[in-house]
Structure 1
Amino acid sequence: VDVKQGKLQTDADIEKITAVLLKSRTGEFDLESILFLKFRSHGIHDLGCIGECINLERLDLSGNKITNLAPLASLRLLGVLNLSANRISNLEPLSSCDSLQSLNVAGNLISSIENLHCLQSLRKLENIRLKDNTYNYSNPVCRNSSYRTVLLEMFPNIKVLDGERVVGRGSDLYQLCKDIDDTIKAGSYKNGQVPDHADCKPWVEDSYWEIKRSNSAIIDEAYKQFNDVLHECRLLNNRATHMISQTERSLSLKKQPKQYAV
């Protein structure tokens, strides 16, 4: 009966994660055998016994009502964690998740940079998301104008911040776009007026694109030399054809059987 109830729970809101729910959801008999879990938008507010899934590697708990992350402290093999769109303000329990590489906490209640200090011990952490413009998720800390700069200083190993690659292949493009945006914002308007720009000037002179005619004498000489070379090629071709025909004729004579007089 409990198992049936657990299966019914998966189709509705789940207030608390239980062992029965985990087993029925994954089909695993032992919680330690569970490697991947996805409980997206189930109304969860209590993580229950999820900490017993000690071999868990990927976990998606986005879109719930979670406030307390304490049960996650035992998940030392957890590599990817999605906690977006919850009610989290304290990330301290994640400091013991040594294998964590990717963390998404966009759309929560993280209010200051100090709330992120606990993550500095996670040496493998390469991807942090506190803001997601696609879904309009953010955190109060993101309102800080120096938030991005401070975060990159705090986490020197970070490769991706808020979905933008900051190190490695592709980072130059993101930086270029950011510089362009900053330049536009800084220089587009001064005192509420659009600045006057000087008339555009062509990059090259008007005569640059005109086809320059060559000396006709040079063209005639080149044409004559080309015809001479072409004539020599024809002569060589005729000689080669003649020699090939002679060779074929002599070979055919050699192949004919010899006749002896009786």
Structure 2
Amino acid sequence: MDSKRDKEQDADFEKITALLLKSRTGEFDLESILFLKCRGLGIYDLGCIGECINLERLDLSGNNITSLAPLASLRLLAVLNLSANRISTLEPLSGCDSLQSLNVAGNNISSIENIHCLQSLRKLENIRLKDNTYNYTNPVCRSASYRNILLEMFPHIKVLDGERVVGRGSDLYQLCKDIDDTIKAGLYKNGQLPEHPDCKPWVDDSYWEIKRTNNAIIEEAYKQFSDVLHECRLLNNRATHMISQTERSLSLKKQPKQYAV
């Protein structure tokens, strides 16, 4: 009986329904959903997801999706993760005008022509077609010229396959690369790099400051980071207290026994 119930539940996950969306988000009105994560549920049909017209962040990684047609109506979508699916065409995404970050690593995108449709997305800054961490890729990535062609196609791209190509961070990446090249070239003198009195700091003093914005996605990420940081501090305090108690207990055990005379 339980096996039959499990199969019925699994079948529900094969297609995105209003019931599934409400159970995953707690929202009764589909238009109120801003963030949605449906990772690894075996979904192959996006169903009514197009009704979530105010979606800003969507994670559908690790499913069996082949058609992206229902996503065409998501004009406010900014972050989209479609990694590890069975997608071969990205054409429906050409209508997602607000898209900033797209992850399609681990799919079936076979040629550069399948990516041309994204050129109209002026806000797109981050594209990932391969991810070495999870060994995800696409057939198009096998081309030796793939990277250069994409950078020419998308002159505003800041991050390609997880690597900064322009903007803040790319300078630091290039600096590290130059240092590596210098080391490989054997320019060490007595085990040290030559001195450069006119060298400047790698980044400005304000580089590492967290800047708050009105972007809902960044605000949500900032809140989650703050919550995790707070939890880590509590755990650290608890661990310090337990270590202190243990050390005190061990210290008492090591003291020599006193006998009354």
Note closer, same or farther for the CA distance 1:49–1:202 as it changes in structure 2 (3 Å cut): closer
In structure 2, the partner of 1:128 is: 127
Q: Deviations over 1:231-254 (max 9, x none)?
A: xxxxxxxxxxxxxxxxxxxxxxxx
Distance 1:14 1:202 in 2: 59
CA–CA distance in structure 2, aligned partners of residues 74 and 159 of structure 1: 25
CA distance in 2, matches of 1:109, 1:139: 6
Letter in 1 for 2:157: I
Aligned position for 2:142: 143
Instruction: Determine the C-alpha separation between the residues in 2 that align with 1:106 and 1:162.
Output: 8
User: Is 1:112 aligned to 2:111, yes or no?
Assistant: yes
Q: Give the direction of change, closer, same or farther, for the CA distance of 1:201–1:72 in structure 2 (3 Å limit).
A: closer
TM-score of the aligned structures, taking structure 2 as reference length? 0.64
Aligned equivalent of 1:228? none
Structure 1 distance, partners of 2:95, 2:145, is: 27
Q: Which runs of 5+ in 1 are unaligned?
A: 189-196, 205-262
Structure 2: gaps (5+ residues): 191-261
Counterpart in the other structure of 1:253: none
Question: Does the C-alpha gap of structure 1 residues 19 and 154 become closer, same or farther in structure 2, counting only changes over 3 Å?
Answer: same
Q: Please give the alpha-carbon distance, in whole angstroms, between the structure 1 residues aligned to 2:69 and 2:179.
A: 42
1:73 is paired with a residue of what secondary structure?
helix
- The 2-side partners of 1:20 and 1:49 are apart by 10
Change over 3 Å in CA distance of 1:180–1:64 after alignment to 2: farther
Which residue of the partner structure matches residue 29 of structure 2?
30
Do the aligned partners of residues 166 and 88 (structure 1) sit closer, same or farther apart at CA in structure 2, a change above 3 Å counting? same
1:225-240 → structure 2 map (5 Å cutoff): none
Question: How many angstroms apart in 2 are the aligned matches of 1:87 and 1:105?
Answer: 10
Letter in 1 for 2:136: Y
Query: Alpha-carbon deviation of 1:144?
Result: 0.6
CA contact (8 A) 1:13 1:42 kept: no
Aligned residues: 184
Partner Cα separation in structure 1 for residue 187 and residue 116 of structure 2: 53
* Post-superposition offset of 1:24: 2.1
Q: AA paired with 1:112?
A: S
Q: How far apart in 2 are the matches of 1:28 and 1:130?
A: 32
**Matches of residues 136-215 of structure 1 in structure 2 within 5 Å?**
136-175=135-174, 203=189
Aligned to 1:210: none
Per-residue CA distance 1:39-65 (angstroms, 9 max, x = gap)? 011110000000000000000000000
Q: 1:175, CA displacement in angstroms?
A: 3.9
Larger Rg: 1
The one-letter amino acid paired with 1:95 is S
In structure 2, C-alpha distance between the alignment counterparts of 1:155 and 1:201, rounded to whole Å = 36
What displacement does 1:126 show? 0.3
Q: CA 1:173 to 1:19, structure 2 compared with 1: closer, same or farther past 3 Å?
A: same
Q: Is the 8 A contact 2:13 2:20 kept in 1?
A: no
TM-score, normalising length: structure 1: 0.64
CA distance in 2: counterparts of 1:85 and 1:201, whole angstroms? 44
Structure 2 Cα separation of the partners of residues 107 and 178 of structure 1? 28
User: Which residue matches 1:191?
Assistant: none
Identify if the C-alpha distance between structure 1 residues 181 and 62 changes in structure 2 by more than 3 Å, giving closer, same or farther.
farther
Shift in CA distance, 41/202, structure 1 to aligned 2, threshold 3 Å: closer
- 3-state DSSP of counterpart to 2:115: helix
Give the 3-state SS of the residue equivalent to 1:120 in structure 2. Answer: helix
- The C-alpha deviation readout for 1:167-195, integer Å capped at 9, x for no partner, is 112213434666799999xxx9xxxxxxx
Q: What residue is the counterpart of 2:82 in the other structure?
A: 83
SS of equivalent residue, structure 1 residue 133: coil
Mapped partners of 1:176, 1:143: distance in 2: 28
What CA distance in whole angstroms lies between the structure 1 residues aligned with 2:180 and 2:138? 22
In the alignment, which residue of structure 2 is the partner of 1:246?
A: none
Q: Percent identity, aligned pairs only? A: 85
Structure 1 distance, partners of 2:182, 2:46, is 46
Is the contact between residue 12 and residue 42 of structure 1 (CA under 8 Å) also seen in structure 2? no
Over the residues paired in the alignment, what is the CA RMSD in angstroms? Answer: 2.8
Work out whether residues 44 and 66 of structure 1, in 8 Å CA contact, stay in contact via their aligned partners in 2: yes
